[in-house]
Structure 1
Amino acid sequence: MKQSICHSLLLTFALFSNSFGQSLERIFYSTFSPQGWDIYLSKDKGKSYKNFTDNPSLDYDAVISPDGKWVVFTSERSGIPQLYVQAIDGNYPPSLLIKSKSFQDQATFSPDGSQLAFVASHEGNSEIYLIPFLPDSIQDIEIAKNLTNHPSGDFRPAFSPDGQRIAFSSDRDHEIVPHPQFPFARQRIGDIYSVDISGENPTRLTNSEFWDGSPRWSADGAKIIFYSGRNGQNSIFEMDADGSNQHQIIEFSGPAVSPDYLPDGTIVFTTWQNEKDFKVMKFDPNSKEITPLISNGPDLMFNLDSHLNGTMVFHGGPYAANHGVPGNFGFDGDVLAKLPDTVSFAGRQVNVYGVRRAFVAPPQKGNTLLFYDANDIQSFWEFLKPLGYGVFWLPILVLGMFLSGLFLGVRHRKKISFWRFLLFSLLAIVFGLITGGTFLWVDTISPMPISSIRWIMGLMTIVLLGLTLWAYKRAIRSRRNGNEAYILSLSYSFLFGGLSLFSVFCTVFINQMVNSTLHFYQVDYVTGEKKQLFVFEKESDTNPANFSVLDSKVSHDGKAFIFTTGSFRANARTQGDLWKYDFETRLIEKLSDSPYNDGFGDISEDGKLVFRSGRSGYFDIYLKTNDETINLTQDSHRDNFPAISKQGDKIVFSSDRLRTEHEYKTMDIFLMSLKPDGTWTEPEIISIGSGQNAHAHFSPDGEWVIYTTEGYGINDEQALIQPIIFSPQMYGEIVAYNVQTKDRIRLTHNKWEEGTPLWVE
């Protein structure tokens, strides 16, 4: 239902724009935004519930006013998260509370209901603001008082029962650290603080190396409950109001976040399983019993708030459409995360679209088609072809040899020392690990071309066959001499022979072990109609581990689809290739010309090709004009994600060149311009602030650069957002930078990871 409503609204939007002759330029960016959240209301303490909102956009983080008459919640229906108010009784639509072009979220009422504290990005990063609660008025954000005034992020405010202090979480006192698995991402740590409602006397209450968040005061103001990851997973803790006596109060097998008190003293919290099935649970402090608050609740339930009269609100809903359907997008939900947001700046209007897909190619001029790849394989077992299951011969062989060594050792212990068979069993494991480990290394961990894998595994086959022949000859000689040790030598021959069979199998059938076909699709973002664009088979010498799509875009002239195949975490000398699909001829052309890591290409209207390559041993930016290819950034730094203007006179790219060898290397955006003599200027930094900056792209007229930045921090507690969706870096706002005036305009205000923006006509 919501999907059809969303498509109808999009179609109406498109027709409206065309009817007035408006052909606005468009910016598309990827977003990890979930789909389908509404506010739910219960008036009987959770025994039953119903939809309080029903909108295609996201509605979340609802709270009830102390008088029980109003619900304030965050909605993205205007294009950015903003606070809305709606009466609990009566059929009245929600109305905007605060006039602002910035992010607003995480509202909480003062005990007397006269004031509202909330999080907003009005002054750049997330701060705690205070404003009078006037449900019948729209107030300007300028009158709100900033209580925290700190360059780091501040989140999830909660009033003390006397209304004099506000507890909140903040990442202000911890260094931002690299993600343990994804080196491009950075992770934050938060603690609990409190501050007077005047903004004075900020006090740090916790000091943990894991996120402490979502504080809530007890009714008498003596205690604060919160969640913390300090014991290995997020659990519910309690402390005195001054920060002393911190201890875990709920023993629970799963994660637990977002705690709150019900009027009867019961504690509720949100938990989940396998990043799905989010539920609100309740904990009885007396019986220690933990039960679901609503046994038949929707699939997703988050952040419950309650009132003394038994009214409860929470947000959530059913799971989004299954992304496993062939041809669908990579993340759960519709193609577009929300209705387009028209942004006005510098005398122009641009429609901005959030797309649930990384590196989606935006439409050609005059149409509404998005282009993307979709791996139709749903699991590791589907990834393997029938011959791929042959790799399991190795662990079966090794286990069999290990057990046979022990069995033979016991059986022949009177004639042959048992330790010799025990040594054989141990060597079976060692040689099995060496053989399997070598194949795993060259095929997956440090993926090499198929020809190189065949050479290495072929040499290993020769060595193993030699060992097989040596052991077999020893067995024959021992048996002729009447030596019982022939059994041991024969066992070695079986071991090495089996390993050589595995090795030769990998050598011969390496190309027939896994599925390695890429499927590309097009989708109309207005109607939602999808169909296959083309199918692409890998080259015979390309390792399937180096055959993922890392980047895609439409050329500036709209005639071709450009994409990169490679490995996400590959080094400079690993395979990576750049390709072009011609929309008219349907021919695929390889644009890269080296066996090394080429990719992230962009073509100007006059035919200049800029791309990243590792052919020098380092990642550099290259420019190919006609038959000449030059290295524009020949140095030891990591340069990546280049883009060239439509006019061919400017190039932008990301680089860690301002970082030293002994620090965490974040990326900045650099600009180069074509000089009258045909050479290029030295790279000039155009991004500001600390953190990651990447994925720059030009406006069609070449006057603006858009890119993704971490410069504004995050807008919610990291521990609450990352479990909802795969989001290793939950930061990323889209910024537009004017090359001439140096003006910088923030285009997005959200709490989801957003990136890879592309600007088209």
Structure 2
Amino acid sequence: MILVFNITGIGQSAERIFYSTFSPQDWDIYISKNGGKTIERFTNHPSLDYDAVISPDGKYVVYTSERSGLPQLYVQPIEGNQSPALLIISNSFQDQAAFSPDGSQLAFVASHEGNSDIYIIPFLPDSTQDISTASNLTNDPGGDFRPAFSPDGKQVAFSSDRGHEIVPHPQFPFARQRIGDIYSVDISGKNLKRLTDSDSWDGSPLWSADGTKIVFYSGRTGKNSIFEMNTDGTSQKQLIEFPGPAVSPKYLPNGNIVFTTWNSEQDFKIMQADKATQEITPLFSNSPDLMFHADIHPNGLMVFHGGNYPETQRQQGKFGFDGNVLAKLTSSLFFADQQIEAFGVRRAFVAPPQIGNNLLFYDAGDIQSFFEYLKPLGFSVFWLPILVIVMFLSGLILGVRNRKKTPFWKYLLFSILTVVAGIATGGLFLFVDVINPMPVSTIRWTMGLLTVVLIVLGWWQYKRTTRLKETGKETYRISKLYNNLFYGLAAFSFLCAVFINHFVNSTIHFYQVDYATEERKPLFILEKEPNTNPANFSVLDSKVTHDGKALIFTTGSFRANATTQGDIWKYDFATKIVTKLSDSPYNDGFADISKDGKIVFRSGRSESFDIYLKTTKGIENLTNDIHRDNFPAISIQGDKIVFASDRLRKDNEYKTMDIFLMKLNPDNSWSEPERISAGKGQNAHAHFSPDGEWVIYTTEGYGINDEQALIQPIIFSPQMYGEIVAYNLTTKERFRLTHNKWEEGTPLWVE
């Protein structure tokens, strides 16, 4: 999602900030008043409503809603037609409410003091209280989540990532992952106890009615499963055997368990499990597509959040994220004498509009599946696994048939070598084409050379087969198998060498969409250059030039190294001509252009990622070191440059990025990079305000606002960081602009 901020400063014209956020759409609260037999929609608002809980007296539902633009707690009576009422006044995140057993207090998660902590406040459904009246129960630099009161109301259990170092993501080197454990604490904030200590996330604790057990989920088995333990942390055991993931457990009044699960199609359902028989059935027989976090009251009331898939879900040629392009969020935020009104727009790497229009420009994923991605000739890649399977089985079958004439182990060896040769041939192609994407010319030379080698080996085996057959030796049958194998592998290599440019659909379709009306029109189509590897032909960045006359964007591979091809392009709106701005075979990208024509970009032409500046005098490497420098931006005035870099991290540390500023000196040289980001962790995607006095960027300095294991399955966002910060270059003031649990980034501030 892209959020659009209309910023109206005192005496200033309206300006807008766009940034991406991974947020779902159209969640509402649903209620059942008869034990799950029928379901009614309890809320119906275009914003997100979620994490609902029922008051102990069964009169109210408290839930989180983003209808004000921020996640905040609302209360709504179950009976009658009263509108929801805001419970707490705050400019920060609130979520994950939990009632005390007597209903007099409410525990919840808030980012009021920076990171996520557990707060307690009196439950006053007829009043709106200020966040300052709430008591911070945990007050720790780590993130604390999903509170639950003990039956006597004297303790709160919760999950926290405070006990583990943040670790690199196993697949994405730019991202970091967190691990959570279960803790308990007195409602006074004293007697903190750590109840679990595992290498995966333990979360969403809930006390049993008698106060002797705590149920929770854990990923310690390799997937999220339901566990139970004593309240002191002893006797931890898996409670339910279930083939799929299981999170958010709750006790039913009869002692059985309900939990949320999902499948590979991202269908989320609420299940119930009989602890004695292990029988698992859906809690509701007729329900929406998406169901999360049920809360069960002893009187038969049930609430959960979710809904049906948005109309644009899984449809070809849509915006790239589920739901409408406009997320229909509104908010008013204030910082430094500026009022900010927020509207949500869904799309990553979008080029926001300039003065006087509502148009967004972006590339759209018109290809939805692997088989749509392949061209007809692309299906020839299946020749390799078919060949290997056929030759493998041929070796075994002929070995059995001819075992009296030829030892079976010789045929078995052939079958084994067939698999090895197939993996080696396919692995080489995969390496040069996908793992380390090389130019098409390099792929052709590599696979062409392999074709020649395999043909030579096949010819040698053919001559050997003829000679063995003439001398009457039965081993000619095995030699013939090798001959067929080598020629078959040569055929695969030949196809890869000659037809590599005809394997996949490698055009990029650009569109424009009016984010107010959602009218969508084609803009232009970019064809891949003949020597460009299709794996290096995805759009990684796009923006409209400051004069509004052109779109600039980067094509490349998201995980490519410095020497892998990446290119910078420009599309002129008036002439409709596409021009390539980069001039090297290395990884160029993330360009930004000032009004006086300076172009800043990152490039791997020094075999390390550096920041370059292109002017009428030529190209200058501004950083020129071994560190990884990326995501540069230049002020409209052309006198300042910001970029992200890992230059402050030591070699033995996991390298995270900080934001650095360089200024143009009076002699036209550039100052040394100065760090302007604060805190630990990842910081990236900096951009200037139109007046050049502010820098906005993405940071994980505030941690996360919900359990990682509950957010990542909803929308895959491996970074798990991304609040937007505005930094004033003169006053050094820093303002946090966003508070929620969805990953947000790539902010752009335009007029």
TM norm. shorter chain > 0.5: yes
What is the CA distance between 1:529 and its match in structure 2? 1.0
Query: How far does the alpha carbon of each residue in 1:622-649 deviate from its partner, in whole angstroms, 9 at most, with x for none?
Result: 1101250111110000111111111111
8 Å CA contact 2:67–2:330 kept in 1: the answer is no
Task: Report the equivalent of 2:372.
Answer: 382
Does 2:652 correspond to 1:662?
yes
Q: RMSD of the alignment, in Å? A: 2.1
Task: Report the equivalent of 2:99.
Answer: 109
Question: Could you tell me the percent identity over the aligned residues?
Answer: 73
Paired residues, what number? 748
Aligned match for 1:333, one of 302, 323, 326: 323
What is the CA distance between 1:530 and its match in structure 2? 0.9
Aligned match for 1:642, one of 627, 632, 646: 632
Task: Report the equivalent of 1:355.
Answer: 345
Task: Report the equivalent of 2:45.
Answer: 55
Query: How far does the alpha carbon of each residue in 1:47-95 deviate from its partner, in whole angstroms, 9 at most, with x for none?
Result: 1121111000000111111222211111000000001111111111111
Task: Report the equivalent of 1:443.
Answer: 433
Secondary structure (helix, strand or coil) at the match of 1:148 reads coil
Aligned match for 1:566, one of 553, 556, 569: 556
8 Å CA contact 1:226–1:237 kept in 2: the answer is yes
CA distance in 2, matches of 1:284, 1:215: 19
Does 2:354 correspond to 1:364?
yes
What is the CA distance between 1:282 and its match in structure 2? 1.9
CA distance in 2, matches of 1:537, 1:335: 26
Letter aligned with residue 63 of structure 2: F
What is the CA distance between 1:617 and its match in structure 2? 0.6
What is the CA distance between 1:540 and its match in structure 2? 0.3
Task: Report the equivalent of 1:629.
Answer: 619
Does 2:480 correspond to 1:490?
yes
State TM-score, norm by structure 2.
0.96
Does 2:250 correspond to 1:260?
yes
Structure 1 residue runs without a partner (length 5+)? 1-9
CA distance in 1, matches of 2:277, 2:582: 67
Aligned match for 1:545, one of 527, 535, 558: 535
Does 2:137 correspond to 1:173?
no
CA distance in 1, matches of 2:332, 2:723: 16
CA distance in 2, matches of 1:289, 1:433: 43
CA distance in 1, matches of 2:12, 2:316: 35
Aligned match for 1:523, one of 484, 508, 513: 513
8 Å CA contact 1:131–1:145 kept in 2: the answer is yes
Residues 306/136 of structure 1: CA separation in 2 closer, same or farther (3 Å cut): same
Residues 689/141 of structure 1: CA separation in 2 closer, same or farther (3 Å cut): same
What is the CA distance between 1:34 and its match in structure 2? 0.5
Task: Report the equivalent of 1:118.
Answer: 108
1:632-711 counterparts in 2 under 5 A? 632-711=622-701
Does 2:395 correspond to 1:405?
yes
CA distance in 2, matches of 1:106, 1:100: 15
Task: Report the equivalent of 1:741.
Answer: 731
Does 2:424 correspond to 1:470?
no
What is the CA distance between 1:236 and its match in structure 2? 1.5
What is the CA distance between 1:183 and its match in structure 2? 1.4
What is the CA distance between 1:416 and its match in structure 2? 4.4
Secondary structure (helix, strand or coil) at the match of 2:267 reads strand
Task: Report the equivalent of 1:6.
Answer: none
8 Å CA contact 1:27–1:350 kept in 2: the answer is no
State TM-score, norm by structure 1.
0.95
Secondary structure (helix, strand or coil) at the match of 2:380 reads helix
Residues 311/419 of structure 1: CA separation in 2 closer, same or farther (3 Å cut): closer
What is the CA distance between 1:500 and its match in structure 2? 1.7
Task: Report the equivalent of 1:188.
Answer: 178
What is the CA distance between 1:185 and its match in structure 2? 1.3
Secondary structure (helix, strand or coil) at the match of 2:479 reads helix
Does 2:604 correspond to 1:614?
yes
Task: Report the equivalent of 1:555.
Answer: 545
Letter aligned with residue 51 of structure 2: D
Task: Report the equivalent of 1:206.
Answer: 196
CA distance in 2, matches of 1:597, 1:494: 41
CA distance in 1, matches of 2:518, 2:727: 32
Does 2:741 correspond to 1:757?
no
Secondary structure (helix, strand or coil) at the match of 1:276 reads coil
Structure 2 residue runs without a partner (length 5+)? none
CA distance in 1, matches of 2:329, 2:169: 32
For structure 1, which segment, 109-118 or 93-102, has the greater mean C-alpha deviation from structure 2 after superposition? 109-118
Task: Report the equivalent of 2:448.
Answer: 458
1:220-299 counterparts in 2 under 5 A? 220-274=210-264, 276-299=266-289
Task: Report the equivalent of 2:299.
Answer: 309
8 Å CA contact 1:63–1:305 kept in 2: the answer is yes
Letter aligned with residue 547 of structure 1: F
Letter aligned with residue 364 of structure 1: Q
Secondary structure (helix, strand or coil) at the match of 1:443 reads helix
What is the CA distance between 1:486 and its match in structure 2? 3.9
For structure 1, which segment, 103-112 or 277-286, has the greater mean C-alpha deviation from structure 2 after superposition? 277-286
CA distance in 2, matches of 1:227, 1:482: 69
8 Å CA contact 1:275–1:725 kept in 2: the answer is no
What is the CA distance between 1:22 and its match in structure 2? 8.7
Aligned match for 1:141, one of 115, 121, 131: 131
